[in-house]
Homo-oligomer: A and B are copies of this chain.
Amino acid sequence: MNATVFFTLQEVDGAVLQDHTAVVIDVLRASSTIVAALAAGAQAIYPVVSTEEAIKLATSLGREDALLAGERRGLKVEGFDLGNSPREFTPEMVGGKRVVMTTTNGTRALLAVDGAEHVLVASFLNLSAVAAACADAERLAVVCAGREGRFSIDDTLCAGMLLSRLKERLGGTLEVEDAGRSALALAEAFGVDDALLADSAAGRSLAEVGMLDDVAWCGRVDVEELVPKLKERIIQRADGGGS
């Protein structure tokens, strides 16, 4: 397997991903929230870029079983049913529902790579499940959402741990380049460290809006088995479970 890591969405040239399996990571918090939503029984997630687009799509899906979720500056968009805190996505709240979602970095990253052959969503929560799901890919693109175009250590550590899982499976046949090699080394140096995640730019920004508890919640490793998969702009469980 040839694995390329992109530390920011802006590094990605969507056109070259056609024959790649892309894994999108936005640990704090969109990819963790997508995993939480599907684990809680949401039928599907519809990622969109703007709040206007979200409202329009939720209306056309039918407001009685489509929820609006998303954040701007870390806070729930006014009038939306949910923000972007994975802890809100309970079975009571989202079970059986469609969720239209817009976030600052994560949903943009998903839509930027939707030309890839397969698009999966990874977080610490479902790390080994994603590693198993993409282990047979010949060309893997691990896309960190980053923070408004900047490098993000939380996404990078998750990318590095994903590569580390793949290396355990594939050994010397895993080929990485500059960014992948660096992500692996950083995952080895830091591991998953709640204090470090809390002190990351994303963690500090969540603390500012009273959401620090989300950081430790998103830092739990391998608590879910499911793999969210994006196809035709809709995210569902790759195994079809819960949908």
Contacts and interface: CB of A to CB of B under 8 A. Distances in A.
A178 B149 contact: no
A178 B200 contact: yes
A124 to B, nearest CB: 16
A57 to B, nearest CB: 31
Contacts of A178: 150-154, 156, 200-201
Contacts of A186: 182, 185-186
A81 interface: no
Interface string A179-197: 1011001101110000000
Interface residues of A, number: 25
Contact of A190 (B152, B156, B185): B185
Nearest to A10: B10
Contact of A151 (B179, B189, B201): B179
A152 B152 CA distance: 16
B189 A201 contact: no
Contact of A11 (B8, B154, B200): B8
A222 interface: no
A7 B189 contact: no
B149 A11 contact: yes
Nearest to A153: B178
A113 to B, nearest CB: 16
22 contacts: A5-B151, A6-B150, A7-B7, A7-B151, A8-B8, A8-B10, A8-B11, A10-B11, A11-B150, A150-B178, A150-B179, A151-B179, A151-B182, A152-B178, A153-B178, A153-B181, A154-B178, A156-B182, A177-B201, A182-B186, A185-B189, A186-B186
Given A8-B8, A10-B10, 17 more contacts: A6-B150, A7-B7, A8-B10, A8-B11, A11-B149, A11-B151, A150-B178, A152-B178, A153-B178, A153-B182, A156-B178, A182-B182, A185-B185, A185-B186, A185-B189, A186-B186, A188-B189
